[in-house]
Structures are given as structure tokens and as C-alpha cells.
Amino acid sequence: MQIGVIVVAAGRGRRMGADRNKVLLPLRHKPILMYTLERLLKTPNLLEVVVVYHPDDQTEIETIIRDMGSNIPIQLVSGGEERQDSVYQGLKKLSAQCDVVFIHDGARPFVSVETLQRLSMRMEEIQGAVLGVPVKDTIKEVNKAGVITGTLPRSSLYAIQTPQAFRRDLLLEAYEKAMERGFYATDDAALVEQLGVPVEIVMGEYTNIKVTTPDDLWYADRLIQQMQMREGN
């Protein structure tokens, strides 16, 4: 089984309140995207990586990739208007030799090697899987007036992370049918679910955060500090 990874890095980071793409913001003197790629390059059976970028960031991202000196091919492709459009561009760029596709947020720099291995092993047997962790908080349904209308059973709720993994041919079919219908979803799994194909949860880790807000950036800095202390750096 050969795996291709699509890294979605075409966002503008508006919730971060920064003047640049959040994946280019520094954490301990390295851009977030570099941490992300370093982790993903340890994916088992990895054939290639495609980074989907915003045209404004092309030069900086090219510099990051060059500085990494990876033996695994890392290609670049310009993204689209929405995240779904960007993933589709990345999917079309991937080699047909890739049997399985991992789609990962460029702003998730802490996915562990063990998690990537778990996901890869599960994809030997199934067609689609996403990382997820059980929610810790009680989740309420609320109407437009701000009134609670229900309490969801926490035991059946998971917070979904990336990578999300699918058989390449299946994912391509899901994307093409969604584009034909003009259907947009918040994640890749929802497109595959529209085909009636079951998607499994593979256990993630609570540290696999997405850096979206200034608070996330502060927490990410602390995580790196802890990791470096454990590794003696």
C-alpha cells in the first residue's frame, strides 16, 4: 500500500488575527508548517506529499520545503476558493500510484508517529477512516434564541481531527460527485459518507491540535517546550 499525503495550507488565518497565513507563523523559531511536514514525512509507506498553498505564500513555502531537504517528493499546487476546492486540487496532483490518501491540516503540527502508524495499519483493511477523540465536555443543542433544546449523549460524540484517510479512487469519486452537485461539506469524510461508504474512527490524541487562535498558538508553544524537554533538547 502506497500513501500520498495532501497538506492543506491555503488558508488565510483570519481567526488568528495575524497578517499572514497561520502555517507560516513561527513556533520556537520554526514555521508551523515545517513541524507539520516533519511529522507527516514519517508516515509509513509514504510515496509523496502535496502541499496546497495560497499564491501569496508560494515563495515562503518553497523556502520551507527546500530547507527541509526531504528525500520524499514534496509537490506544490495552488488551492481554491474553499477548503474542499483546495483538497480537490491536491487530489488531482497526486500520483495514481498512491493507493491511499491522507488529508491533513497544515496547522496541525503535532500528529504523532504512533497515530500515523495506527491510521496506516487500519487503512490496510478498510476504505475510509478519520482520527478522533472522545469529547470531554457536555454538548448542548441550542436554537437561534440561545435556548437549549437538547443534550447530546457524550458517549457517542467524537471531536474529529486529521489526517483523514481514504482509498484514492473512492475519494476521487466522492469529490467529483460532490462537485457535480455543488455540495460542500466541512470535512472529507462527509463527502465519502454521501456515497454510503462507512468511515471509521481511529483513536487520535488530544495533543493533535489545530492552531487556529492566539490561545492555540500559546498552547502549541508549551507543547513544543515539553517535547523538547523530554527529548533533552
The topology (CATH level 3) of 3-131+160-231 is: Spore Coat Polysaccharide Biosynthesis Protein SpsA; Chain A (3.90.550)
Q: Residue 230: its pLDDT value, please?
A: 73
What pTM, to 2 d.p., does this model score? 0.92
Q: Over the stretch 173-210, which tens digit does the pLDDT of each residue have? A: 999 999 999 999 989 999 999 999 999 999 999 999 99
* Range 51-76 average pLDDT: 93
Model confidence at 31, pLDDT cuts 50, 70, 90, reads very high
* Whether the predicted pLDDT of 17 surpasses 60: no
Q: What's the chain's average pLDDT? A: 92
213 pLDDT band, cuts 50/70/90, is confident
Residue 19 has pLDDT above 80, yes or no: no
Whether 216 contacts 23, CB under 8 Å: no
Counting beta carbons within 10 angstroms of the beta carbon of residue 135, is it exposed (0 to 12), middle (13 to 18) or buried (19 or more)?
middle
Residue that is written with C-alpha cell 477523540 in the block? 133
Mean pLDDT (whole number) for 70-96: 92
| Whether residue 231 has pLDDT greater than 70 | no
Residues constituting the chain: 233
Which grid coordinates belong to 113? 508517529
pLDDT tens digits for 119-167? 999 999 999 999 999 999 999 999 999 999 999 998 889 999 999 999 9
**Given a cut of 70, is residue 14 above it in pLDDT?**
no
